[in-house]
C-alpha cells in the first residue's frame, strides 16, 4: 500500500520526513561502527586484524562488528572451534557425526541399544513414517524421527530438550515422537510381544526350580500428568495420577503379554482378570497342546507365577502367606527364585527407559502408546532383535467359552491341592 502524504506544519510531507529519519539512523549506526573500528585498529579482534572488515558490508552481515555491544561475530565460512565438554549440534552433524564418528559406547549411552538394533527398528518403521517434503522445507528423515523418540524414552528429557538437541522446533519433535510411538504400537507390538516356543520357556523355568511354569506376572505404576478431565480413578496411595503397566514375562525377562492404560486405583488382580491370557489359561486353551506333568500324584498343566496379592488358581501359583512351616518355606523359596525374573525385567525396563521413572509429559490418551513403545523396545533389545525376525505376523486369538469355567471356590481348592503337591515335590528333592 502506498504511503499517504499529509501536509505538516513545516511544509514537509510525511514520506520525506520518514526517509530523512531512516537515513539519519543508518548514518548514526555507520558512525558507531567506524568509531569502534578506529579504537580496535592495530590490535586485531579475536586473533584477526580489523583490516578484514569492509565498510561496504551491511550492519546485518555476520562479519561486521556489532555496534551495540562492541563484540565480533566469527565468519560463517570458518568452522567454529568445539568447546570442551559440548557435543556437536545434531542440526549440522546428524548425517555425519552420528553414523560415522559416534562410538558404540556413546551410542548405547544415548539410545540404550546398539547401532545395529537401531537400524533394524528404523527399517521396520520406514514404510509407515516416510513423508513427502512439505512446501519450502524438507521432511524430517525417518532415522532422525526414530532417534528423537528413542532418545526421549531412554533419557526422560522434556520435549524442549530433545528439540534443542536435535535442532528442530518443539512442535516438530512432539509430533514426530508421537507418530513414532503410535507406529510402534500398531506395527511392532504383535511382532515383539508374544509367547515364543513354550517348550523352551517351560524348560527355562524348570532350570530355575519351578517346573510347568510358562510365565511370571507383576506390574508397576507409571506417573502421568494430571488429566484435563477429572481423573479420580488415576489417584491411589502411591504417587498421584498414575496408570498401571501389568506384564507377564518368560524365563529370560522378555515380556509375553502386557496390559496398559488401567487407572492406578484398580488392583493388579482385578486387571489380570480382564486379560486374554487369564481367560485363556482358565479355559485351558492358552497352549493348544496342553502339556501336563505328574507332580506328587497330581496332574499339573501350564501355569503362571504371581505374588500373594493374586488369587490362587490351578494355573496361577502364589506363595504361602503369614507364618509358614519349614516345608512351606521350601516352596516359597522355589517360587520366589523363579518369579524374580519378572522383578528383574521391570527393573531393567525402568533403568533402560528412564521416562518411566518420571512423570510422562503427555496426554493421558497418548500415554498408552509411550508405555507400549518401551515394552516393545525392551523385548527387541533383550532378544538382540531376534523377536522381529522370528515373531508371529498376526495376533493370536483364543476361543473361550465361559460356560466351561469352573466355579471360583472349586478353582481355589484345586489350586491349593496343586500347591501342596509342589510343596511335597520340592521337599522330596531337597532330601
Domain boundaries, the chain: 1-76, 92-191, 197-430
| Alpha-carbon gap, residue 186 to 184, rounded angstroms | 6
Q: What is the mean pLDDT of residues 354-359?
A: 89
Please give the pLDDT value at position 100. Answer: 52
Residue-wise pLDDT tens digits, 105-160: 878 888 888 889 999 999 999 999 998 877 777 888 899 999 999 999 999 888 98
Share of the chain above pLDDT 90, in %: 41
The answer to whether the beta carbons of residues 106 and 115 sit under 8 Å apart is no
* Strands of the 242-249 sheet, one edge to the other: 255-263, 242-249, 213-223, 303-305, 316-317
72 and 45 in contact (C-beta within 8 Å)? yes
pLDDT bucket at 72, cuts 50 / 70 / 90: very low
Mean pLDDT lowest among 93-102, 302-311, 390-399: 93-102
Report the alpha-carbon distance of residue 217 to residue 292 in Å, rounded: 21
Three cell numbers, residue 354: 528412564
Give how far the C-alpha of residue 134 lies from the chain's centroid of Cα atoms, to the nearest Å.
Answer: 28
Quick: pLDDT tens for 270-281: 999 988 888 888
Number of residues in the chain: 431
Place of cell 497352549: 287
- φ and ψ at residue 232, rounded to 5 degrees: -65, -25
Q: For the segment 181-235, what is each residue's pLDDT rounded down to a tens digit? A: 999 999 999 889 998 889 999 999 999 999 999 999 999 988 888 776 655 556 5
pLDDT of residue 26: 60
63-99: string of b/e by CB count within 10 Å (b at 16+)? Answer: ebbebeeeebeeeeeeeeeeeeeeeeebeebbeeebe
Question: Model pTM greater than 0.95?
Answer: no
Full DSSP string of 276-288: HHHHHHHHT-SST
Question: Checking DSSP bridges between strand 303-305 and strand 316-317, what pairing results, if any?
Answer: parallel
- Report which of 218, 237, 197, 257 is spatially closest to residue 348, judged by C-alpha positions: 218
Amino acid at each position: 500500500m502506498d504511503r499517504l502524504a499529509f501536509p505538516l506544519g513545516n511544509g514537509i510531507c510525511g514520506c520525506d520526513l520518514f526517509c530523512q529519519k531512516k537515513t539519519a539512523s543508518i548514518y548514526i549506526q555507520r558512525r558507531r561502527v567506524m568509531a569502534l573500528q578506529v579504537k580496535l585498529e592495530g590490535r586485531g579482534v579475536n586473533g584477526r586484524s580489523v583490516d578484514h572488515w569492509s565498510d561496504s558490508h551491511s550492519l546485518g552481515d555476520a562479519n561486521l562488528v556489532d555496534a551495540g555491544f562492541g563484540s565480533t561475530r566469527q565468519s560463517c565460512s570458518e568452522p567454529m572451534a568445539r568447546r570442551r565438554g559440548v557435543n556437536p549440534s545434531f542440526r549440522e552433524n546428524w548425517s555425519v557425526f552420528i553414523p560415522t564418528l559416534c562410538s558404540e559406547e556413546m551410542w548405547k549411552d544415548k539410545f540404550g541399544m546398539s547401532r545395529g538394533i537401531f537400524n533394524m527398528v528404523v527399517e521396520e518403521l520406514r514404510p509407515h513414517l516416510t513423508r513427502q517434503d512439505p512446501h519450502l522445507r524438507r521432511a524430517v528423515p525417518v532415522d532422525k524421527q526414530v532417534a528423537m523418540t528413542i532418545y526421549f524414552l531412554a533419557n526422560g528429557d522434556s520435549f524442549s530438550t530433545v528439540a534443542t538437541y536435535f535442532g528442530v522446533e518443539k512442535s516438530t519433535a512432539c509430533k514426530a515422537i508421537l507418530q513414532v510411538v503410535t507406529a510402534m504400537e500398531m506395527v511392532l507390538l504383535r511382532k515383539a510381544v508374544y509367547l515364543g516356543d513354550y517348550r523352551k520357556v517351560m524348560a527355562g523355568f524348570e532350570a530355575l526350580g519351578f517346573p510347568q511354569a510358562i510365565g511370571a506376572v507383576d506390574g508397576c505404576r507409571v506417573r502421568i500428568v494430571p488429566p484435563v478431565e477429572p481423573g479420580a480413578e488415576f489417584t491411589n496411595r502411591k504417587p498421584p495420577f498414575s496408570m498401571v503397566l501389568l506384564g507377564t514375562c518368560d524365563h529370560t525377562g522378555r515380556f509375553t503379554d502386557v496390559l496398559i492404560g488401567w487407572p492406578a486405583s484398580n488392583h493388579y488382580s482385578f486387571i489380570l482378570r480382564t486379560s486374554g491370557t487369564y481367560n485363556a489359561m482358565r479355559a485351558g486353551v492358552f497352549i493348544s497342546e496342553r502339556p501336563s506333568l505328574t507332580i506328587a500324584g497330581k496332574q499339573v498343566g501350564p501355569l503362571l507365577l504371581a505374588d500373594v496379592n493374586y488369587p490362587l488358581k490351578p494355573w496361577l501359583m502364589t506363595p504361602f502367606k503369614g507364618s509358614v512351616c519349614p516345608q512351606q518355606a521350601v516352596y516359597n523359596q522355589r517360587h520366589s527364585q523363579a518369579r524374580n525374573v519378572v522383578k528383574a525385567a521391570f527393573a531393567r525396563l525402568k533403568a533402560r527407559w528412564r521416562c518411566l521413572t518420571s512423570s510422562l509429559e503427555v496426554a493421558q490418551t497418548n500415554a498408552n502408546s509411550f508405555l507400549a513403545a518401551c515394552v516393545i523396545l525392551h523385548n527387541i533389545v533383550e532378544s538382540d532383535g531376534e523377536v522381529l525376525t522370528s515373531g508371529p505376523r498376526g495376533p493370536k486369538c483364543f476361543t473361550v467359552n465361559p460356560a466351561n469355567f469352573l466355579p471360583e471356590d472349586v478353582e481355589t481348592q484345586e489350586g491349593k491341592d496343586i500347591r501342596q503337591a509342589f510343596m511335597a515335590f520340592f521337599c522330596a528333592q531337597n532330601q
